[in-house]
């Protein structure tokens, strides 16, 4: 019997992937299967950060996966990165999820920023600043976290971020508190979303800044414990910022650009879904392997596998289409499809893990096997901001019944 990990999630030929894409995705899959899978149980048990995995990612050039070639990166596009992340998640969900936080700091400042409207001086300044940012990753192996959530409605885009960046001579003083900061205590930089405002100024989402705050800057503190249900290796503790000074070059995007990106490049928020697609595949792969080991004769089991496969195919097909459509100014249909893909992936991952346990039976959920970890990890997907399952439902419902700008009954 061939091991499911021998085959990619998406066959390159059938999905029109070129040689370079297929090669990078295969390398990510191999790294996950050979290095990350054997370490996953330990980091899950101890809720510890997979530091060795990050060394492997750095050595494989994958910390720079979306950094443009001229800056020393692998220049993977959005689709290629998403496919590679899904492959890693088959072996370790926590590594794939935290890798996403890091990679977004390069994707958003890189290819995504290239699609945004900026005047020439602003673009030149951005180019100079992102050169510093990319160099830290390529030359020094720096790791970036992405702490946005504050436990209020800011991460879903409903209100401005409470974390404030007060303009001062030469830069900003940042004060605020971020919850669920994956990579806390292990990142070199926190890519913080905050609201630029002077003491007497009101907060506006348009004034969101995306700042790289060095982890060891004065005034940065990681607080609280971390003992959650799933995704334990992400080490997503609380990070507090008290009057932390950063200079102007800390701006990962120019003023106003995060707001423009969030409005015009919505797929920037779909990048958490590859992790959960990989987990969905892992739940299915586990079931097939487990039943082939002597339990496949039962028609009941065969029907359960059929049901799982159908759900998996549905999720994968929708997800691939939505991820392929990532671009600036997508059509309303593409935007709604992205929400639908996020919702489907997050819900299907946990549904498949549930079915896998029911189908494989009691022994399958022992701690010595990965399925119960997949079950717990997959539960986290639908609560991840900004596109929680509830946010997706709300937006799909509203967007299907109202055209843009329409109000009333
Ligand atoms: C394993 C894991 C890792 C994570 N890593 C990160 C990370 O690295 N960076 C990061 O920024 N976050 C991270 N998160 C946080 C995640 O994205 C959510 O922000 C978090 O789970 C929200 O938890 P909550 O209980 O506050 O959520 P919720 O109860 O869902 O809501 C938070 C707030 O948003 C409001 N809200 C929710 N839905 C809506 C809506 N539709 N409209 C208006 N307001 C709404 C609520 O009223 C509430 O005030 C992580 C979460 C997990 C589980």
For the chain, the domains span: 4-142, 164-255, 265-401
**Would you give the distance in Å from CA 82 to the centre of its chain?**
9
Nearest CA to ligand 1 atom 24: 151
What integer pLDDT is reported at residue 201 of this predicted model?
84
Q: Which atom of ligand 1 is nearest to the CA of 384?
A: 17
- As a whole number of angstroms, the distance between CA 262 and CA 260 comes to 6
Residue of the CA atom closest to atom 9 of ligand 1:
147
Handedness of CA 355, 357, 361, 364 (dihedral sign): positive
Q: Ligand 1 mean position to 385 CA, how many Å?
A: 5
Residues 6+ apart with CB under 8 A from 199: 166
Q: Ligand 1 mean position to 151 CA, how many Å?
A: 6
Residue 213 near residue 267 (C-beta atoms within 8 A): no
Query: What integer pLDDT is reported at residue 200 of this predicted model?
Result: 82
Backbone dihedral angles phi then psi of residue 221, each to the nearest 5 degrees = -140, 135
In this prediction, residue 5 carries a pLDDT of 52
* Four-way CATH pick for 4-142: 1.10.540.10, 1.10.30.50, 3.20.20.450, 3.20.20.10: 1.10.540.10
> Closest Cα to atom 15, ligand 1: which residue?
180
Q: Where are the beta strands (DSSP E) in 197-288?
A: 208-214, 220-223, 237-247
Nearest CA to ligand 1 atom 27: 151
Which ligand 1 atom is nearest residue 183's CA? 8
Give the ligand 1 atom nearest the CA of 145: 8
Residues with Cβ within 8 Å of 380's Cβ and at least 6 positions away in sequence, in order, are: 229, 230, 231
Residue 13, classified by CB atoms within 10 Å of its CB into exposed (0-12), middle (13-18) or buried (19+), is: exposed
**Using a 6 Å CB cutoff, which residues line ligand 1?**
101, 146-149, 151-153, 155-156, 158, 180-182, 231, 234, 236, 380, 383-385, 388, 390-391, 394
pLDDT in tens, the chain (409 residues): 345 457 999 999 999 999 999 999 999 999 999 999 999 999 999 999 999 999 999 999 999 999 999 999 999 999 999 999 999 999 999 999 999 999 999 999 999 999 999 999 999 999 999 999 999 999 999 999 999 999 999 999 999 999 999 999 999 999 999 999 999 999 999 999 999 998 888 899 999 999 999 999 999 999 999 999 999 999 999 999 999 999 999 999 999 999 999 999 999 999 999 999 999 999 999 999 999 998 899 999 999 999 999 999 999 999 999 999 999 999 999 999 999 999 999 999 999 999 999 999 999 999 999 999 999 999 999 999 999 999 999 999 999 999 988 888 8
CA of 238 to the centre of ligand 1 (A): 13
Please report where in the chains the tokens 């697609």 appear, as a residue: 277
- Any bridge partners for residue 147, and if so which? none
User: For 177, what's the count of Cα atoms within 13 Å in the CB-facing half-sphere?
Assistant: 7
Instruction: Return left, alpha or beta for 219; rule: phi > 0 is left, psi -120 to 50 is alpha, else beta.
Output: left
The CATH class for the domain spanning 265-401 reads mainly alpha
User: Span 164-255: which CATH code?
Assistant: 2.40.110.10
* C-alpha distance across the termini of the chain, in Å: 58
pLDDT score, position 407: 86
């Amino acid at each position: 019997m061939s091991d499911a990990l021998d085959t990619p999630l998406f066959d390159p030929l059938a999905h029109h992937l070129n040689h370079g894409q297929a090669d990078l995705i295969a390398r990510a899959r191999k790294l996950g299967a050979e290095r990350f899978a054997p370490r996953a149980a330990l980091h899950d048990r101890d809720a510890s950060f997979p530091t060795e995995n990050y060394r492997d990612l750095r050595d494989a050039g994958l910390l720079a996966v979306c950094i443009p070639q001229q800056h020393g990166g692998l220049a993977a596009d959005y689709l290629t990165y998403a496919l590679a992340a899904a492959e890693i998640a088959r072996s370790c969900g926590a590594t794939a999820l935290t890798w996403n936080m890091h990679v977004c700091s390069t994707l958003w400042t890189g290819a995504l920023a290239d699609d945004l409207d900026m005047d020439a001086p602003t673009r030149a300044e951005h180019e100079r600043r992102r050169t510093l940012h990319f160099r830290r990753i390529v030359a020094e192996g720096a790791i970036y976290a992405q702490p946005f959530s504050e436990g209020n409605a800011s991460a879903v885009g409903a209100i401005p971020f409470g974390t404030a960046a007060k303009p001062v001579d030469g830069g900003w003083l940042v004060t605020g508190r971020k919850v669920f900061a994956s990579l806390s205590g292990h990142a070199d930089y926190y890519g913080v979303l905050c609201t630029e405002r002077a003491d007497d100024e009101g907060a506006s989402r348009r004034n969101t800044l995306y700042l790289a705050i060095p982890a060891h800057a004065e005034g940065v503190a990681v607080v609280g414990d971390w003992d959650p249900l799933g995704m334990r290796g992400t080490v997503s503790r609380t990070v507090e910022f008290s009057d932390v000074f950063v200079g102007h070059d800390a701006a990962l995007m120019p003023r106003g650009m995060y707001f423009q990106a969030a409005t015009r490049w919505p797929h920037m928020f779909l990048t958490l879904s590859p992790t959960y697609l990989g987990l969905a595949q892992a739940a299915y792969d586990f079931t097939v392997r487990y039943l082939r080991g002597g339990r496949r004769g039962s028609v009941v089991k065969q029907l359960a596998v059929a049901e799982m496969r159908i759900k998996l195919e549905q999720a994968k097909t929708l997800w691939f289409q939505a991820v392929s459509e990532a671009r600036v100014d997508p059509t309303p249909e593409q935007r709604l499809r992205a929400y639908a893909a996020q919702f489907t992936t997050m819900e299907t991952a946990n549904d498949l893990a549930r079915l896998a346990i029911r189908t494989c039976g009691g022994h399958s959920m022992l701690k010595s096997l990965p399925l119960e970890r997949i079950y717990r990890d997959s539960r986290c997907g639908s609560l991840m901001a900004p596109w929680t399952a509830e946010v997706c439902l709300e937006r799909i419902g509203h967007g299907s019944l109202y055209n843009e700008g329409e109000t009333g009954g």
